[in-house]
Amino acid sequence: MSPIPALPNAEFPVPQSLGRVVELAQNLWWSWHPEGRDLWVQLDSSAWEQYHNPVQVLATLDRSRWLELEQIEAVHDTYNAAVSAFDRYMSGRKTWISRQAAELDGPVAYFCTEFGVHPSLPLYSGGLGILAGDHAKSASDLGIPFVGVGLFYRRGYFRQEVDPGGDQQHIYPRLDVRDLPIRPVAGPGGGQLKVTVELPGREVSVGVWKLDVGRTELLLLDTDIPENALSDRPITHQLYVSGREMRFCQELILGVGGVRALDALGLEPSVFHVNEGHAAMSTLERTALEVERGLELAEAREKVRSQTLFTLHTPVPAGNETFHRSIAEKYLGPWAERLGVSMPELLNMAAAEEGNNEMFDLGALAIRSSQITNGVSKKHGEVSTESWEHLIGGPAAHVTNGVHTPTWLGRDGGRLLSGELGRSWPTKLLERPELLDQARELGDELIWNAHQGRKEIFARFARGRLRSQLARHGGSPDELRAVDSMLPTDRLTLGFARRFATYKRATLMFRDRGRLHHILTNPERPIQVIFSGKAHPADKLGQAFIRELSELSRSDDFRGHVYVLEDYDARVARFMVQGVDVWVNNPRPPMEASGTSGMKAAINGVPNLSVLDGWWLEGYNGKNGWAFGSDHANPDYEGADSHDANEFYRVLADEVAPLYYAIDADTGLSAGWIEVMREAISTSIRAFSTHRMVADYCELAYFPMGASNFVSAD
């Protein structure tokens, strides 16, 4: 697959001897390769600490500063190391896919409404976007021809502030394309590539931007361009906009505009991967194109199905993206006409139940238009089968999610594995699982010291966040000074960070506050808990959880033992999964489709203390963490919460805390605790990586659908 042509987006006064820094800044390869990150620190450590965005770092450097940098030998050493590592990676021929028996006939086109590649590009809200970003990185690492399709949200997703009363405030950034590592895709006549999408009584122009993620390319669609009316330009402004009709327009742009952008570039994907129902209208556009090329409707639908995989992330049908039929009727007339069907017939294509087309269900549309529908864990596959077997025509498949281990593993852990297994350890582990035995042989001191290093870094980061929050709330100098003594690193530290959806039960551990207070403040085994997370602006109950936690963190009973960090994003998540001692998760079963935050913690040697739902049902082996509560649905929410909270208290007080504090006087270590850490690493670092996940997608769908030379093992 040839690179998608792009135009320059900004110019910098870079001297010729350092000329490739712009190329490096515009490819997010650096975000998971230390050679790249080291370069930005070397160029301007203050700007890097402020922005964590190479393009903005370059923008801070004027011509005179570049002349100074050009004279520094260490700068050239770091630059040359980064360029060499980048060139080796980008030109590598001996990739994982090159060693497979099958070869894809065209790229995989991966449609998703959000992509969380790096915090400097806030085009994501939570797990779905982070997973998509990790998927793109692993596809790049494995050498899979892969193009992502998403939207460019100029207002991103909201930044969160928590006011003195604990109320979540929503602050939407204004992204400036000149500050971002994206470039306009080159159109055939010069200038930016644009496609059009029909809306009632008009056509909307859609600009196409390109984001390079290693070898992977992402296309980001944008309606905020001069050709459009002021009323249409905001369509792609805001991720998960609350207005239902505007949301429908977004998803029409994503699905239809994405297919047209690929077509305009001459790309012929061999597989279309629809990641969640938001992108389902891509199948309508593809079917209409096949009809216009001469196929009968039934043949066109079957051809589209034969090339389409749908990954479902919602645990129950109620979580699907649905719209009242009046909205669909307003916008989809051109597609009914192109398909040669009546509007009721088109609506039936997206009906969750046969004959009931009052709601246009994008999940149902995607299932009907896909050859394979899969859940994102074994349990979720079973739940999806129960909900959707009548449309799937059999059981749903499952591919358990993973995480991009080079992105989420702390530097200390990464150095340990690189030392044991070499630089390409993630791919080596994928191909040679027996190498996990070497990971199991890492010494106690190595594991513990690596973790304590990350814990110290996280504590400093968290204190800085807490000090800023307190200062904004009007804290006194003495109160701000007291932050320095918070979060002692010799104390057992629990982490709970995620989207504050109600089913995740963020406040479950406070059900019996007296009992929790007794456990946390035990003078021989003190415990601190750190919370972070956002609630959707329309989720009032989730926001109430944040308010309650904020109030509890300031109460006499929990002050100094409970903390809330605001503005949760991928950067906060990275610090937390590497720096806490235990990762807590207590969703209401079976609502957790997967839950990748626990995987990120486990690969860093942070054991999970979790309800058996989602991935933890597969990951837990009795030695790599702890399980509590029920593993099945209970319609008695009150009774279920009481039972699960009591189990949490018992396991935390009787098993987790005693093991953590069982410190040998001679070594200063808890050998039993480190053994749990070691087991957490060895059972997750391969099995719950996106390298393994993408390889599974190749076996399930990418090769059977997209490789003409694929021979099934069956």
pLDDT at 602 over 70: yes
Q: How many CA atoms lie within 13 A of 152 on its CB side?
A: 27
In sequence order, what are the beta bridge partners of 356? 353
Alpha-carbon distances of 22 from 33, 278, 454, rounded to whole Å: 16, 34, 31
Distance, CA of 454 to CA of 580 (rounded, Å): 9
Distance, CA of 657 to CA of 581 (rounded, Å): 11
Q: What was the pLDDT predicted at 648?
A: 97
**Unique residue bearing structure tokens 């975000």:** 31
Q: What was the pLDDT predicted at 421?
A: 84
Over the Cα atoms of the chain, what is R_g?
25
Q: Are residues 432 and 577 located together in one domain of the fold?
A: yes
Compute the average pLDDT of residues 430-452: 91
Amino acid at residue number 225: I
Compute the average pLDDT of residues 645-671: 96
pLDDT at 646 over 90: yes
DSSP-based three-state secondary structure for 529 = strand
Going by C-alpha positions, the residue among 650, 638, 640, 587 that lies closest to residue 613 is 587
Q: Are residues 371 and 447 located together in one domain of the fold?
A: no
**Contact predicate 586/648, CB 8 Å:** yes
Residue 713, in any domain of the structure: no
Residue 208 has which token pair? 């196409």
**Contact predicate 235/249, CB 8 Å:** yes
Q: What was the pLDDT predicted at 303?
A: 97
User: Cβ atoms within 10 A of the Cβ of 662, count?
Assistant: 13
Q: 126: domain range? A: 97-161+169-281+308-398
Distance, CA of 430 to CA of 433 (rounded, Å): 6
> In whole angstroms, what separates CA 338 from the centre of its chain?
36
pLDDT at 423 over 90: no
Residue 361, in any domain of the structure: yes
For the stretch 539-567, pLDDT in tens is: 899 999 999 999 999 999 999 999 999 99
Q: Are residues 531 and 591 located together in one domain of the fold?
A: yes
Residue 60, in any domain of the structure: yes
Q: Are residues 570 and 552 located together in one domain of the fold?
A: yes
Distance, CA of 558 to CA of 529 (rounded, Å): 10
pLDDT at 581 over 70: yes
**Unique residue bearing structure tokens 């977004």:** 250
605: left (phi over 0), alpha (psi -120 to 50) or beta: left
* Total domains present in the chain: 3
Residue 296, in any domain of the structure: no
Q: What was the pLDDT predicted at 585?
A: 96
pLDDT at 319 over 80: no
Going by C-alpha positions, the residue among 391, 398, 299, 382 that lies closest to residue 350 is 391
- Domain boundary (73, 91, 109) is at 91
Q: Are residues 248 and 109 located together in one domain of the fold?
A: yes
Distance, CA of 233 to CA of 709 (rounded, Å): 45
Q: Are residues 449 and 528 located together in one domain of the fold?
A: yes
Q: Are residues 575 and 547 located together in one domain of the fold?
A: yes
Tell me phi and psi for residue 162, to 5 degrees: -110, 120
For the stretch 42-62, pLDDT in tens is: 999 999 999 999 999 999 999
Q: Are residues 485 and 537 located together in one domain of the fold?
A: yes
For the stretch 491-547, pLDDT in tens is: 999 999 988 988 899 999 999 999 999 999 999 999 999 999 999 898 899 999 999
Q: Are residues 386 and 429 located together in one domain of the fold?
A: no
Distance, CA of 362 to CA of 345 (rounded, Å): 15
Q: Which residue has the higher pLDDT, 690 or 443?
A: 690
Compute the average pLDDT of residues 9-27: 93
**Contact predicate 95/103, CB 8 Å:** no
**Of all residues in the chain, what percent carry a pLDDT higher than 70?**
99
Average pLDDT, the chain: 94
Q: What was the pLDDT predicted at 631?
A: 84
- Domain boundary (341, 370, 398) is at 398
